[in-house]
Amino acid sequence: MHRDIKPDNFLIGAGESAHIIYIIDFGLAKYYCNPKDGIHIPYKDKKNLTGTARYASLSTHYGIEQSRRDDLECLGYIMVYFMKGSLPWQGLQAKDRKEKYEKIKIRKASIPIDKLCEGIASEFAVYLKYCRGIKFEEAPNYTYLKKLLENRFNTEKYTIDYQFDWMATKSMKKKSDNEAIKLMLKDITDQNNDHEEKNKSLSNKIEEHATANKVLVKNMPIQLLKDHTAPKHKIGFAKFNILQTFE
């Protein structure tokens, strides 16, 4: 038995092992049966709480020696915690550890499992009810529990692709970064297109003015030059008009 099942004691693999969950900290671990003869450890009570109160089984709160059932119940509370984000007995105020443990026990025992699992998949309530019903020396039906969760997995139409939430976060961030780059490039392209359109429009206007001025330059000076007696200020006035057409 591990005897201290909690989120802190699970680690996620890195790189190619990112789909593997590792369990650590076996400092409180204990054999549930004698490794030599296979005889189950004896039932005891009036024991101090071993493990973490938030995820501890009810039997542990009541001072009963832990067995295989208790680790499973702890795991059930962890799953509820992950699904709902918190547990009802978190944040209770107390003057010392003993009082806090007592308050957690009372709160944990008073909340019906169906109420605890309200709003999440019903399989979690079934799981916890089963765990609390296991007898001290009884071997848990691990196959049943795995099948219970697998059925829900299939009902939700999930696939075993080994792409978990903590991996999806990285891929989503990468996707988000790529989308941001695409948007930035699109903005740059749009700005370039706008500039090209403006330049093209300006070029067209310049060509129009240039065409008009060619006519003006071609005709006006000739008319003025035909009159040799035309005063210089008239020629200057004609040039001034030509320059105005470019503004």
List average pLDDT for each run of 10 residues in the chain, which is 247 residues long.
97 88 96 95 96 97 98 98 96 95 97 97 98 98 97 93 73 59 66 63 68 58 48 45 44
pLDDT of residue 201: 62
CA–CA separation, 9 vs 70, rounded Å?
A: 16
CA–CA separation, 19 vs 166, rounded Å?
A: 9
pLDDT of residue 193: 62
pLDDT of residue 182: 67
Write the DSSP assignment of 129-193 as a string of letters. Answer: HHHHH--TTPPP-HHHHHHHHHHHHHHTT-------HHHHHHHHHHHHHHHHHHHHHHHHHHHHH
pLDDT of residue 207: 72
Active site residue 194: no
* pTM, two decimal places: 0.68
Q: Which residues pair with 40 in a beta bridge?
A: 33
Cβ partners under 8 Å of residue 167, min gap 6:
18, 19
Q: Could you say which of 4, 37, 187, 190 is catalytic? A: 4
pLDDT of residue 16: 85
